[in-house]
Chains A and B, each alone.
Chain A
Amino acid sequence: MTRPLSRVVVISTLVRSFLVQGSWNYHTMLGLGFAFAMLPGLRRIFGADADRLDAAVARHFEHFNAHPYLVTVALGAVLKLEADGTDPQVVRRFKLAVRGPLGSVGDTLVWATWLPGVAVLALALYWLGVPGWITAVFFLLTYNAGHVGLRVWGLRAGLRSGHDVARSLGAADLVGWARRMQPGVVLALGVLSGAVLGGEGGLADAGIPWSVLAMAGFLVGLIGGHRAWRPAAVAIVAAIGAIAGWGVIT
């Protein structure tokens, strides 16, 4: 017999989800962190039956990967499956099925849209004259409203839907949300570019040659994409080194 999950267990799982990547590795990726986050629930479900608890723990530190925020969807759903006494092979297949979508949806929504969007907005505020510490606080509060909200939503959706959590994910249309946010992020990126071009302490003060060079750099990024990042960073560091060397020689 298994016991139903309590509120304390759910909160404990949520808190542990913030540490889910603590032991990220190339062997099992999030696996150990997933088992770590599942522990309060597994202890509740299997109670004093140490053998079944050990077996469940061993099943859950196998290879697993997902976006670290949306991992709560899998945590909630798997906890519900375990609490319902679902066959371990079904649970394993479920984890195999959800890890890909949870990774790609999370990457699109959080890493490719939400994080750069809020960062660009904060940077734009700074270049428009807002004090640095206020932009930092703005960034933290805005970003984490989405971050923590997503984790809580994911855990609740997983616990509510269990095996059918894919329907909740589909209904939430998280990728659609990312798509709808992207024009706003581009608008903020434009504001940032304009503020850096025209603002005090920016390219206007540096002079036209630097503005032209910055536009060239922008084009390099636009055309080259991520391949351009490392060479550009190396070039800037090398230029700084060369200029410093020139100063020492002369």
Chain B
Amino acid sequence: MEIVRLGALGGLLGLDATGVGQFMLSRPIVAGTLTGWLLGDVATGATVGVLLELYLLVSFPTGGARFPEGSTATVVAVACAVPFSGAGALPLAIAAGLVWGQVGGATITAQRRLNSRLVPEPGDTRSSPSAVVVAHVAAIGLDFARAATVTFSGVLVGRTVVRALVERWPMSMPSSTGLLLMGGAVSAGILLRDLGGFRRRRVWFAAGLGLGIVGARLL
């Protein structure tokens, strides 16, 4: 039953990413917390969500761009992290999420191709208001089914892989976190470049860096 609930959550969050609302419930920072809450471990869900949000900071659902699907990636990653203990659970779950995010992205592209067939042609007899509603709602329904299926299969595959590897993970927890943060740092660098680059924004960035270090020590 749990895996069905996870699939349904993945379906709903997948809809939020582009098709319905775009309230950003689908961003990893929120999706991770929601999935953690569903599985009874909000803290792990939030940790996975925060780490994936770092990775996907520069991935946005812009128009026709192909992007990794953060919502299904996050649900899969949290579902893979929560049942297992040990230092390997987090990196293996994040890896499962990143891989499944790419799978989700590929299915979004396929879904959009399929949607092209649902759209009535101008002059088509299907161009009545009710036909527009039916085609639009059908596309939304298909998107839910797509995201739910991607999540469901991702949880099944991911948990199998993590279960097989987690006990043998050779690194400590701090080193595992360091490895994951190294990947997240690439996205932070890309974002700084997008926002004007280091040379132009160095004063603001340095001021923030100092505040962050001091704040982390004091709080």
Q: CB-CB < 8 A to B194: which residues of A?
A: 112, 116, 225
Q: CB-CB < 8 A to B71: which residues of A?
A: none
Structural contact, B27 and A119, CB atoms closer than 8 A: yes
A233 in contact (CB, < 8 A): yes
A243 in contact (CB, < 8 A): yes
| 15 A-B contact pairs sorted by A residue (CB < 8 Å) | A22-B19, A61-B127, A107-B62, A133-B42, A136-B46, A140-B25, A193-B205, A198-B214, A200-B216, A214-B178, A220-B189, A221-B189, A225-B194, A243-B171, A244-B92
| Docked complex: A3-46 residues within 8 A CB-CB of B | 18-19, 21-29, 31-33, 35-36, 39, 42-43
| Docked complex: A187-232 residues within 8 A CB-CB of B | 187-203, 205-207, 209-211, 213-226, 228-229, 232
Structural contact, A205 and B174, CB atoms closer than 8 A: yes
Q: CB-CB < 8 A to A35: which residues of B?
A: 132
A143 in contact (CB, < 8 A): yes
CB contact between A233 and one of B55, B129, B132 (< 8 Å): that residue: B55
Q: Which of A82-90, A122-130, A162-170 contacts B (4 or more CB under 8 A)?
A: A122-130
B179 to chain A, nearest CB (A): 7
Structural contact, A214 and B182, CB atoms closer than 8 A: yes
A109 in contact (CB, < 8 A): no
Bound Cα distance from A62 to B194, whole angstroms: 33
A26-B113, A132-B46 known; A147-B208 Cβ under 8 A = no
Structural contact, A232 and B92, CB atoms closer than 8 A: no
A152 to chain B, nearest CB (A): 14
Q: CB-CB < 8 A to B211: which residues of A?
A: 187, 190-191, 194
A72 in contact (CB, < 8 A): no
Bound Cα distance from A23 to B32, whole angstroms: 26
A190-B212, A210-B178, A244-B165 known; A218-B217 Cβ under 8 A = no
Q: CB-CB < 8 A to A21: which residues of B?
A: 18-19, 22
A205-B177, A240-B179 known; A42-B129 Cβ under 8 A = yes
Count of A residues near B, CB < 8 Å?
A: 113
Structural contact, A201 and B177, CB atoms closer than 8 A: yes
B94 in contact (CB, < 8 A): yes
A33-B136, A247-B165 known; A190-B206 Cβ under 8 A = yes
B206 to chain A, nearest CB (A): 7
Q: CB-CB < 8 A to A177: which residues of B?
A: none
B175 in contact (CB, < 8 A): yes
Structural contact, B62 and A111, CB atoms closer than 8 A: yes
Structural contact, B24 and A53, CB atoms closer than 8 A: no
B190 in contact (CB, < 8 A): yes
A133-B46, A203-B181 known; A23-B188 Cβ under 8 A = no
Q: Which of A73-81, A153-161, A178-186 contacts B (4 or more CB under 8 A)?
A: A178-186
Residue of A nearest to B127 (CB): A58
Bound Cα distance from A111 to B27, whole angstroms: 13
Structural contact, B30 and A186, CB atoms closer than 8 A: no
